[in-house]
Amino acid sequence: MKLVKSSRFSPCPGPVVTIVLDGVGISPRDDGDAVKAARTPMLDKLMANFPMTKLLAHGKAVGMPSDEDMGNSEVGHNAIGAGRVFAQGAKLVAESIASGHLWQGHAWQEVVATAKQGGTLHFLGLFSDGNVHSHIDHLKAMIERAKQEGVGKVRLHILLDGRDVGETSALDYVDPFEAYLDGLRSADFDVAIASGGGRMKITMDRYEADWSMVQRGWDIHVKGEGRQFASAHEAIETYRNELGVIDQDLPGFVVAKDGQPLGKIGDGDAVVFFNFRGDRAIEISRAFTEETFCPFHRGPLPKVTYAGMMQYDGDTKLPPRFLVEPPAISRTMGEYLAKNGVAQYAISETQKYGHVTYFWNGNRSGKFDDALETYVEIPSDVVPFEQRPWMKCAEITDALIAAIRSGQYKYLRVNYANGDMVGHTGNFEAAVTAMQGLDLQLARLIPAIIEAGGVALITADHGNADEMYELDKKGNVTRDAEGRTKAKTSHTLNPVPFVLVSGEADPAYKLRSDLAAAGLSNIAATVLNLLGYEAPEDYDPSLIEPA
C-alpha cells in the first residue's frame, strides 16, 4: 500500500484538515433554511473568498439504491474515507432479498429452524420507509417468507421513526400495516405487533451515549414490562394526546390482551433486528448476544437465536449471526496514510465519534497504527439537543487547535454534529442557534490552521439543517390554511459545500471545473494530493488540479 509521491503537487507545508459540518447542506430556497437564517459571518466569508464547489451527498453518489434516497452520516463518511462509492445497506439488503440469497443463507435458515421448533419469530427494528436505518419493505418480505416456510408465530416490535420520515407519520405506517397483517393472518399463521416506542426513547441508542434507552427497550420488548395498550394505534394516539411529542420521542408501549403481553421474548425464540445500519444496532445486539454484560441489569438472558440484518461491527464480529454481508471496504485513505507513515488525528463528540473513526475507516473498529493515529472522543451531553444546540463544538475546537499547534499531525479530521443532531429535532430556532455557535468555532479554528501553514477542507456529509420545513411534491414549503409550517426532521437531498481554505496568496492548485457530478468520494484523492501524493488509480478523481 505504498503511496506514490506526486510530481504535480507539492505537500502542504502545514497540516491538512478535513472539517465535516454534519447536516449542513446547500438549499435552493431560503424558507426553512436554518443555515441561511443563522448569522454566520465566518462561514459566509470563507464561502465568498475561497474556492468553493458543491458535492453530491445522496443517492447513487454515496451508494444508495436511487437518487431519491437521502444520504446519511454513515454512508457519507464511508465515501469520504474510502475515496470510492460502495453499494450500501439498503441496496445490499434489497438485492439479497430479490436474488433469494438472504433466504439461502445460514443465518436465515437457523432463525426459521428455531421458530419452527415451537418458538416465536420476533422482528425488531425501525418501522418506516426512511431507508436510512431500515425499510418496511424488507420487513414485509421476511414476514411473508417466514409464513411461506411454515413459521407459525411472528411478533413485531416496532421503533417509531419521525426522524428520517415525517415527524408525526407513525400512523401512516401502522394503520396500513395492520391491514396488511390482517391479510396474512390465518389459522396456522399468528402474526401481530407486540411492542414499540419512539426511536429516541427506547432501544436505538448509539456510541453508548445513553444505555438507559436500551434498558427501556429491553424491558418493553423482552420482558413485556411497560404501559399496556390494546394496539399500537391506541398507544400512539394516547401518547400524542397526553404528551404532545413527536414520533421519535414517544414512550415505549406493550400490546396486551387480557392484561398479558402479546409477545415477550423468551427461551427458544428467534429474534431478527432488521435495521441494516450499524450505529444504533450495536448496543441492543450486545444485550442479546453477550453472556457477560454490564451496562444494565437484563435479568435472565433468554436463550434465543439472534440475527442482525447485517453484521454491525466487523472487528468485534457483532452480531455473530447476520443475514446480509456488509460492503467490503478496504484500502481506505486512513489505512493508506498509516501505512505510509503519516500521523493522523480524528476528533468528534460521542454522537459522531464513530463516523470519523469506524465509518471513515470502512466500517472497521480500532486503528491501523497506534503510534501514528490519535482518536479523541468528547463526551456528548445527555440532554435533548434543542436545549443545548451548541453541543460540544467549543470543546472539540479547543482540542483540535491544540493538536494543530502541537505540530505532531499532518492530517486531521473533525466532525461537528450540530447541524445534524439539532436539525433532527425539528426545532428551527435551535438549529439557527446551532449554526451560530458552530460559526464561532470556525472563526477560532481557521486562523489556527492558516497560522500552521495548513489547508482546511470544509464540507458536510449530507444536508439537514438546510431544510427544516416539510416540502410538497413541487419542492415548496408546505403550509396549512393559517400559514403554519410543519417541521422536517429528516436529511435532505441537497448538495453540500466544499470550500478549500489556505493562507497562501497564490496556491499551486485550483478546483477542477470538469467534474460534472462530483461527490463526497472525490475528497480522499484531494486530501492525498494536498499531502503530496498521487491517489490510488481506483480512487475517484481529485477535486483539484495544478494551477
pLDDT tens readout for residues 224-261: 999 999 999 999 999 999 999 999 999 999 999 999 99
Enclosing H/E stretch for 431: helix 428-451
- Is 297 annotated as a binding-site member? no
Please give the angle made by the CA atoms of 440, 444 and 447, to the nearest 5 degrees.
Answer: 135
- Is 122 annotated as a binding-site member? no
User: DSSP assignment, residue 418?
Assistant: H
User: What are the structural domain ranges in the chain?
Assistant: 12-85+328-546, 90-308
* Bridge partner list, 173: none
The span from the CA of 493 to the CA of 71, in Å, is 7
Superfamily of domain 90-308: BPG-independent phosphoglycerate mutase, domain B (3.40.1450.10)
- Is 135 annotated as a binding-site member? no
- Is 185 annotated as a binding-site member? no
- Is 472 annotated as a binding-site member? no
Interior/surface letters 477-515, b for 16+ CB within 10 angstroms, e for the rest: beeeeeeeeebbbbbbbbbbbbbbbbbeeebebebeeee
Coil, strand or helix at 46: helix
Q: Do residues 247 and 198 make contact, with C-beta atoms less than 8 angstroms apart? A: yes
- Is 491 annotated as a binding-site member? yes
The span from the CA of 257 to the CA of 264, in Å, is 13
- Is 206 annotated as a binding-site member? yes
Active-site residue 73, yes or no? yes
- Is 444 annotated as a binding-site member? no
Question: Nearest 5°: phi and psi at 115?
Answer: -65, -35
The span from the CA of 508 to the CA of 136, in Å, is 50
Write down the pLDDT at residue 480. 86
pLDDT in tens, 27-48: 999 999 999 999 999 999 999 9
Coil, strand or helix at 368: coil
The DSSP string of 301-365 is PP--EEEEEE-SBTTTTBSSSEEEPPP---S-HHHHHHHTT--EEEEEEHHHHTIIIIITTTS--
Q: What CA dihedral angle connects 301, 305, 309 and 314, to 10 degrees? A: 70
Q: Do residues 343 and 411 make contact, with C-beta atoms less than 8 angstroms apart? A: yes
Q: What is the mean pLDDT of the chain?
A: 96
Write down the pLDDT at residue 410. 98
| Residues ≥6 apart with Cβ < 8 Å to 263 | 120, 122, 155, 156, 157, 192, 194, 195, 224, 255
| Residues ≥6 apart with Cβ < 8 Å to 191 | 143, 147, 153, 154, 155, 156, 181, 184, 185
Among 367, 298, 375, 381, smallest CA distance to 338 is for: 367
- Is 364 annotated as a binding-site member? no
Indicate which residue of 27, 73, 96, 128 is catalytic.
Answer: 73
Instruction: Look at the chain and count its residues.
Output: 547
- Is 280 annotated as a binding-site member? yes
Name the class of domain 12-85+328-546.
Answer: alpha beta
- Is 223 annotated as a binding-site member? no
- Is 81 annotated as a binding-site member? no
Residues of the chain with pLDDT under 50: none
Tell me which long-range contacts 134-138 makes (C-beta under 8 A, separation of at least 24): 134/274, 134/275, 134/276, 134/277, 134/309, 135/90, 135/93, 135/94, 136/173, 136/177, 137/94, 138/93, 138/94, 138/97, 138/274, 138/276, 138/309
The span from the CA of 8 to the CA of 272, in Å, is 52
